[in-house]
Amino acid sequence: MTLDKAAEIGYDCGLKTLEEAVNNIDCHAMSMFLYSDINTEMLELEQEANKYDLDLTLIEFLGSDKCKECDDQMRAAMSS
């Protein structure tokens, strides 16, 4: 899983930092990935996350345009 995708999921879940987003994926990996893919997906995420300051807010990491896009998608999904 990419850090971008983990950050988007974290943002949609109301989390605030990259660290929270990565930990969220780690906690729910068994529900998100095939068992045989968990190690590969988590290794990809951890390797990418190690390149960043995990105290960054998700808004800082994703940028305000991406956050607005996530908000618009959530609103659209809630109204359908």
Distance CA 16, CA 80 (A): 27
C-alpha distance from residue 27 to each of 21, 32, 55, 63 (Å): 10, 10, 18, 25
Q: What is the pLDDT of residue 15?
A: 97
Q: What is the pLDDT of residue 43?
A: 97
Q: What is the pLDDT of residue 70?
A: 87
pLDDT in tens, 24-68: 999 999 999 999 999 999 999 999 999 999 999 999 999 989 889
Distance CA 36, CA 60 (A): 33
Domains of the chain: which residue ranges? 3-79
Q: What is the pLDDT of residue 80?
A: 78
Closest by CA position to 26, among listed 18, 35, 38, 14: 38
